[in-house]
Structure 1
Amino acid sequence: MSRKCQISGKFANNAYSISHSHIRTKRKQHVNLQKKKIWSILENRWMHVRISTKAMKSLYRMNL
């Protein structure tokens, strides 16, 4: 399974690690993914998803 949010579609970002001597090496900034069980209103059942914490926060905000 890829490192991609199943709700928002977020995935890794390309970035640089910069050393003290300013040598740049490529690296990835991965999404903070969590495995959660979410209630689906459309299917009327619990679903296991890999969701980013940002999407989790916005889902929580929409349900309030």
Structure 2
Amino acid sequence: MSRVCELSGTKANNGMAVSHSHIRTKKLQQANLQKRRIWWEQGNRWLNLRVSTRTLKTIQKKGLGAYAKSQGIDLNKL
């Protein structure tokens, strides 16, 4: 399973690790994904999702239904 957020689509970022002597090596910055069981009010059921912590924070603020609607995601398919 790839490390991609199921709601926002957040995935790994390529970057550089820079040492004290300024030697650059490639580094992969993974998304901070968490498995969470989130209550969906409109569907009246629980959803098991693998989401990033940034997405969780937004869901707590807006609500799962409103966030999915803004992203154009149909929660019935999950």
Q: Same fold (TM over 0.5)?
A: yes
Distance, in Å, in 1 between the alignment partners of 2:24 and 2:42 is 47
State percent identity of aligned pairs.
49
Structure 1 partner of 2:23: 23
Offset of 1:40 from its aligned partner?
Answer: 2.7
Distance, in Å, in 2 between the alignment partners of 1:44 and 1:7 is 18
Higher alpha-carbon deviation: 44-53 or 7-16: 44-53
State TM-score, norm by structure 2. 0.74
- Are 2:6 and 1:6 aligned? yes
Structure 1 outlier segments of 4+, above 2 Å: 40-44
Which has the larger share of helix?
Answer: 2
Structure 2 partner of 1:35: 35
Structure 2 partner of 1:61: 61
Unaligned runs of 5+ in 2: 64-78
C-alpha distance after superposition, 1:22-59 (max 9, x if no partner)? 11000111111011001234543211111000000000
Give RMSD over aligned pairs: 1.2
Which has the larger share of strand?
Answer: 1
State TM-score, norm by structure 1. 0.88
